[in-house]
Structure 1
């Protein structure tokens, strides 16, 4: 015969709204992914509605272009910074002497 207490303790219990909210805040679990999907759908809906309602003004287009140009400039500066760091590392490797295990000198 079945033990009723055993059946009750093994039963799945839905998480509370508070638990689901906390899970979504820590970006973990299915509730987080559901939240992201619903936000994406809402964003796509809002964007398509806004595009249908009115087009961008010249000032808005200019602002967007400035943001894109600034982004390109920042990417260029970052690439140059990384290139210089790699050059410095290569020079350090070339100037280093020793066997690399017990002896090392720069």
Structure 2
């Protein structure tokens, strides 16, 4: 399978194929430009307490919705079985 080439001249970028991406995933090296950040760069990207709270609220809401959806599906299955 051919790799896709972007750009022209000396700054060409080759899109990694699926095999390369799978290997990078196993090695946890990633493919993004953010993969090779220094430790100092990572530390400067900490979330504020307000951001953490918002994220936790979103996760909790998603968990509640998941439980409600499971209950709804359970009721539908129960109705189907009693038909």
Question: Could you say if the C-alpha distance between residues 86 and 51 of structure 1 is closer, same or farther in structure 2, counting changes exceeding 3 Å?
Answer: same
> How high is the TM-score relative to the length of structure 2?
0.56
> How high is the TM-score relative to the length of structure 1?
0.47
Structure with more relative contact order (C-alpha pairs < 8 Å, separation 6 or more): 2
Report the equivalent of 2:9: none
> Greater helix share, 1 or 2?
1
> Greater strand share, 1 or 2?
2
Report the equivalent of 1:69: 60
Based on CA coordinates, which of the two structures has the bigger radius of gyration?
1
Equivalent residue pairs, number: 66
Pairwise CA RMSD: 3.0
Residue 52 (structure 1) aligned to one of 19, 39, 43: 43
Unaligned runs of 5+ residues in structure 2 are 5-15
1:40 aligns with 2:30: yes
1:80 aligns with 2:80: no
CA distance in 2, matches of 1:49, 1:86: 53
